[in-house]
Each structure stands twice: as structure tokens, then as C-alpha cells.
Amino acid sequence: MGIDRRGFIRIAGLTAFGAMSNSVFDHAVASEEITEEGLVAASLKAHRWAMVIDIKKCQEQHGCTKCIDACHTVHNVPDYENPKDEIKWIWHETYEHTFHEQEHEHLPEHLRHLPVLVLCNHCDNPPCVRVCPTKATFQRNDGIVAMDMHRCIGCRYCVAACPYGSRSFNWREPKRWFEENDVDINKSFPTRTRGVVEKCNFCAERLVKGQIPACVEACEANAMFFGDLDDPDSEVREILSSRFSIRRKPNLGTLPQIYYLL
């Protein structure tokens, strides 16, 4: 039904405009035509978005949370201050938990507790997408693993399938939290409703307007890099080909697209 309905709406819309040929609707054009002009041209596009995080540079900022704050403010992520209902898109995890198969007893204390930024890995082979019974979570052509909150039934199968703990479920009504705590809601992004799963979306809503992800923009330490892995001249490709990098749980075959520099 999807394509037919869409086609129908375009035609129906145009016919309606056409019927009023002397009115202001005169100039109506099909939406396809604008992809070549104006704002659309400015949107950031890629074949494979990826992120590189420099752990060392990040750690030198000693407890800086600018990227986390930026993300959670932009995306209206409530702060319940309780780990049970907690929702997080990007957060600090200790080295021993982020790379816990790499942990050993002679690891220096500061390394063990080294804060590492973690977020959705936007895997090339995402298990969450594989298990979702409604395609509410899906992979876009540019590699972003996205969520359609309108469709999510809240079964939490994707949460069970994610090997990185990147997904959060809305146990409570998030809007109520904003009201009760008198926290401002970002006007340009919706909140979520109770009973759906959410996670980092690589700022898809910003990319389409030509902006880089909020966390990367907020990072003043130059510790986060974002770009197209399919573009051999991109900054991320340059970094990855010149420095040693690791990924979380590469053995699971999920092909995570967040790369860490040590």
C-alpha cells in the first residue's frame, strides 16, 4: 500500500492545485524537483556514516560532558537520575566495561576507570534490525540505524539483541518529566512517548539540514570525528589509515561503525 498511497497523495495534491490554476497554487511543483535546489542541496549525505573517537584526547578533558549534554538537550532525553528508568543516547562508560574482554588485572588503575564515550554503533550488520518484528528499527542507505517511534510496539527484542547496551526503553512518560521538573523542551525535536525504544540516531535530523552531529559539534577537544567511510578522502578515512583503532566486540560480526583511538 505504501508506494501506491504515496503516489496517490502526490497526484491528488497536484490535481487539487491544478484545478485552481488561477490561484496561489499555480506554482505548485512536485516535491522531486526541489531536491536539486535550495536547502536540500545543503544536506549532508554519505554512503556510510561513521565516527572516530579519540579516547586519550577525550580523557584529557577530565570529566567533560559537553557532548553528552549537547546530545541529550537537543534530543529531549530526560534525566531521571535513577538507573532503573534511565534513558541515554551517549554516555561515559569505564574502559573495563566498554572493552571488558580486554580487561586484565595488571591494567593501570587510571586506564581501567578511563571514561570511554559509548553510543549506538550504527552497525553495518545490525542485530537489532534483524530481530525487530515491525521494521520500526531499520538501516538507512547511509548506514544509520534509525528508529521509527511511530511504529515501535515496545517489545524490547532489539534491546535484547544489542551487544552494546545502546538502547533505552521508555518505562515512563517522558513529557511528564519535563513538565514536573520544569525543564525546557527543545522546540525543534519531538519527545518520545511511553513504551517505545530509543537510541542515538547519528543526528539524522541535523544531517538533513547540513549540520554535523550535536556531540561532534560540542566537542572542544577535537576528540570526535564524523564522516563518510566510503569517501577515501574523508577525515575519518585519513585517521583510520594512519592510526591504531579498535572497535567494541568485533568478534560478534556486527561491524560496528564507531572506531576508538587509544
Partner 1 sequence: MYNSGKIIIGLLVFVLAATFPIWYNAATGQSDEYKPDPKIVVDTGYCVAETNYMRKAHMDLLNDWRDRVVRDGERFVNVQGEVMEMSLTNTCMMKCHWNKEDFCDECHNYAEVSPYCWDCHLEPKEVE
Partner 2 sequence: MLEKAFYGDKKYWAWLSFLALVIFVGLLFYLRQFNEGLTITGLKRDVTWGFYIAQFTFLVGVAASAVMVVLPYYLHNYKAFGKITILGEFVAIGSVLMCMLFIFVDMGQPFRIVNVFRYPTFNSLMFWDTVALGGYLLLNIVISRVTLSSERKGIAPPGWIKPIIIISIPWAISIHTVTAFLYSGLAARSFWLTAVLAPRFLASAFASGPALLILIVYIVRKVSKFDPGKDAVQKLAVIVTYAMSMNIFLILMEIFTAFYGNIPEHMRHFQYLFVGLDGYNTLVPWMWTSVILAVVSLILLINPKTRRNETVLGFACFFVFLSIWIDKGLGMVVTGFVPNPLGKVIEYWPTFPEIMISLGVYAIGIFLITVFYKIALSVRERIA
Single out the residue of 110, 187, 232, 251 in contact with partner 1 (rule: CB under 8 A): 187
For residue 162, with 0-12 CB atoms within 10 Å meaning exposed, 13-18 middle and 19 or more buried, which class applies? buried
Single out the residue of 49, 164, 226, 260 in contact with partner 2 (rule: CB under 8 A): 164
CA atoms lying within 13 Å on the CB side of residue 123: 22
CB-based contacts of 159: which residues, under 8 Å, 6+ apart? 128, 167, 169, 197
Single out the residue of 49, 91, 95, 157 in contact with partner 2 (rule: CB under 8 A): 157
Single out the residue of 131, 204, 221, 239 in contact with partner 1 (rule: CB under 8 A): 204
Instruction: Verify binding: residue 122, partner 1, rule CB under 8 A.
Output: no
Annotate each residue in 98-117 with x if it binds partner 2 (CB under 8 A) or - if it does not, as one string: x-xx-x--------------
Q: Return the one option of partner 1, partner 2, none that residue 183 interacts with (CB less than 5 to 8 A, by type).
A: none
Instruction: Verify binding: residue 83, partner 2, rule CB under 8 A.
Output: yes
Cα(194)–Cα(191) distance, rounded to whole angstroms? 10
Separation in Å, CA 20 to CA 9, 12, 17: 17, 13, 5
Query: Do 99 and 212 form a contact (C-beta atoms < 8 A)?
Result: no
Q: Applying CB under 8 A, which residues contact partner 2?
A: 83-87, 93, 96-98, 100-101, 103, 127, 130-136, 151-157, 159-165, 168-173, 193-197, 249, 252-254
